[in-house]
Amino acid sequence: MATPAPLSLPPFDWDIFCCVVDNFGDIGVTWRLARQLEREGCGKVRLWVDDLASFARICSGLDPALDGQWVESIYVQRWQGAIAPDTVPARVVIEAFACELPAPFVQAMAEQSPPPCWINLEYLSAEAWVEDCHGLASPQRVGNTSLNKYFFFPGFTGKTGGLLCEQGLIAARELWQQDEAGLNAYWAGLGLPPKADDELRISLFTYESAALQSLVASWCQSVTPVTLLLPLGRSLQDVLTGAGLEDAIATAQAGNLLQAGNLCIKLLPMTDQAGYDRLLWSCDLNLVRGEDSFVRAQWAARPFLWHIYPQDDEAHIAKLDDFLDHYLAALPADAAQWLRAFNHALNQGEDVRELWAQWPQYATCWQQHARDWSQKLLADGDLVTRLVKFLESRI
């Protein structure tokens, strides 16, 4: 639960600044980072956020009316207007996703001796140039002082910053996925019966895409029963249109259970991050978007499709292929070709009925690959481990 701010604050080891973009992606990543740093004994964390109302939708203990508060032993500070003149920067300052730090705060950094280590935490990318830029310093002139700002790129190789993954996450996932009674209780909590042997359970959290309409239509006509777990959001209209349930769009609300042919759609409320992890762990296939849910789907060790954040110049398709070059490398050529085509079709709004028809042919191979991939990603350590090691010679 949130607690009111004390009259005076302790010195902080980490300041993390986040501008909320696209509602949940940026804050999702920075909140995970803040909690992992605190829980794994890396020091006291202050998280600066400009949109507490959006943040509160994934953090139930947060009161968006408060300017400053402790939540899960992390100090959350509203980032709007002027910075208090007596604010003392932490030993490490993280500028998440190139958000611009307040000029008075940067000035306060320059006045410290030694100055804080300044990290620009970039968006996750599989592009080849990321390896060359990871860890580079960018000198910043502040008055008569020069500060180094270091680029830190999350990524999929040992020459990048890795991916966020808390200690104990993989073990917790394994226990969850092997606990049949626990899974049945989880489904019951969502108002669903235990999963049948011949049934598929699929989660879907994507942006709008015409491809969803053909995919959902395929599930309605499937011989295999499909239960779709659908958090309310941007994909609702496409999903219900594909199911022939346009009349339900206007009145759709969390808790609804809708049936269309052999497809059952369960509408879910927004959940906290732990709840979303459990959803991903429980499903046979996950359709995810952006960065945070994309990474969590990989830790779920289950098949997933990625709806990358769309860009007007189609640059996102090249970025999608850069990731798929890594992800598909160990798959047989035919499976890799099918899965690349499926990801492209989702992102380009194409008809995917013929692609979905090949799920039975490739599902088993894909399921094993998802487990192998999850293990491979941690071979060189998670993001926090790599970040702390990077900072050891700089603070």
Indicate whether 7 pLDDT > 60: no
Contact 316, 347 (CB under 8 A): yes
What CA–CA distance (Å, rounded) separates 12 from 9? 8
Contact 118, 140 (CB under 8 A): yes
Contact 49, 20 (CB under 8 A): yes
Q: Please report which confidence band the pLDDT of residue 267 belongs to, taking 50, 70 and 90 as the band edges.
A: very high
Q: What is the pLDDT of residue 270?
A: 85
What's the token pair of residue 25? 């992606």
Q: What is the mean pLDDT of residues 283-288?
A: 98
Q: Is 290 helix (H, G, I), strand (E, B) or coil?
A: coil
Neighbouring residues of 198: CB distance < 8 A, sequence distance ≥ 6:
224, 225
Starting at the edge strand found earlier in the chain, the sheet holding 3-4 runs 3-4, 68-71, 74-78, 45-49, 14-18, 92-96, 117-121, 145-152, 137-142
What CA–CA distance (Å, rounded) separates 104 from 100? 12
Q: Mean pLDDT over all residues of the chain? A: 94
Q: What is the pLDDT of residue 65?
A: 96
Q: Please report which confidence band the pLDDT of residue 1 belongs to, taking 50, 70 and 90 as the band edges.
A: low
Q: What is the pLDDT of residue 104?
A: 94
Name the CA radius of gyration of the chain, rounded. 22
pTM of structure:
0.93
What CA–CA distance (Å, rounded) separates 283 from 195? 10
What CA–CA distance (Å, rounded) separates 220 from 244? 9
By C-alpha distance, which of 165, 115, 127 is closest to 395? 115
What's the token pair of residue 111? 């006045």
Q: What is the pLDDT of residue 4?
A: 64
Sort residue 231 into left (φ over 0), alpha (ψ -120 to 50) or beta.
beta
Tens digit of pLDDT for each residue in 83-94?
888 899 999 999
CA dihedral sign of residues 295, 167, 282, 357: positive
Q: Please report which confidence band the pLDDT of residue 6 belongs to, taking 50, 70 and 90 as the band edges.
A: low
By C-alpha distance, which of 141, 59, 175, 123 is closest to 294? 123
Neighbouring residues of 205: CB distance < 8 A, sequence distance ≥ 6:
231, 233, 235, 276, 286, 287, 288, 289, 293
What CA–CA distance (Å, rounded) separates 267 from 228? 8
CA dihedral sign of residues 273, 39, 97, 85: positive
Strand-pair partners of 124? none
Q: What is the pLDDT of residue 395?
A: 72
Strand-pair partners of 151? 120
Q: What is the pLDDT of residue 387?
A: 97
**Cis status of the peptide bond prior to 114, with omega within 30 of 0:** yes
Q: Please report which confidence band the pLDDT of residue 360 belongs to, taking 50, 70 and 90 as the band edges.
A: very high
Q: What is the pLDDT of residue 82?
A: 83
Where would I find the H helices in the chain?
25-39, 52-56, 103-111, 129-133, 169-178, 180-189, 211-220, 236-242, 273-282, 292-299, 315-327, 333-348, 353-356, 359-377, 383-391
Tokens 């030993």 belong to 91
Q: What is the mean pLDDT of residues 160-164?
A: 97
> What is the set of domains in the chain, with CATH numbers?
14-162+381-392 (no CATH), 169-378 (3.40.50)
Neighbouring residues of 168: CB distance < 8 A, sequence distance ≥ 6:
none
Give percent of the chain above pLDDT 90: 88
Indicate whether 23 pLDDT > 90: no
What CA–CA distance (Å, rounded) separates 241 from 140? 51
Q: Which residues are catalytic?
A: 26, 291
Q: Please report which confidence band the pLDDT of residue 5 belongs to, taking 50, 70 and 90 as the band edges.
A: low
Starting at the edge strand found earlier in the chain, the sheet holding 226-231 runs 257-260, 263-268, 226-231, 200-204, 285-289, 304-307
